[in-house]
Amino acid sequence: MIILNDTDYIYEEANRIKDNKEPLDRERLYQYLLDESKSDKRAAKSYLKVLMLHLLKCIYQPEKTSRSWHQSIINSFDDFLDCVEDSKIVLSYIRDNFNVIYNQARINAHYETNLSLDTFSENNIFNLDDLLDKNWISEFLKEHPIAKW
């Protein structure tokens, strides 16, 4: 039997399913799909957490807003959008865990800024639809310009 790499394997299985044929290896296909889903969810969560972290830093430490914070916001936003744009499953996971992710970003902001944790609202100050909107991110960056040191 020929051993296929994951890419070849998944295309072969996809074609079998498209042609209404049984998958060659249901367990392997099942495991592959679970692993991919977990990986996509982890990536989206990580990008969103970094995005929120830098948004919080800009809000609560405007005098320290830097070009690198802006660049991090742009990069995290782009990567986050890439993760959720084509996956209803990943977007649903993010919606279900949005407040948990915010709280993780809030704690990270506390450690990175040295500000009291109480400084950062316990209630999520962000709206997911805003964080999916390129115009909102652009406006945020205009409203929180790079500090002049």
Tell me what pLDDT residue 11 has: 76
**Domain extents in the chain:** 37-143
Q: What are the residues whose beta carbons fall under 8 Å from the beta carbon of 21, sequence distance 6 or more?
A: none
Tell me what pLDDT residue 38 has: 86
Tell me what pLDDT residue 28 has: 73
What single string gives the DSSP state of each residue in 34-57?
Answer: HHHHHHHHHHHHHHHHHHHHHHHH
The amino acid present at 42, given as its one-letter code, is R
Q: pLDDT tens across 74-115, in order?
A: 999 999 999 999 889 999 999 999 999 999 999 999 999 999
Q: pLDDT tens across 10-60, in order?
A: 777 777 777 877 666 777 777 777 777 788 999 999 999 999 999 999 999
Q: pLDDT tens across 75-84, in order?
A: 999 999 999 9
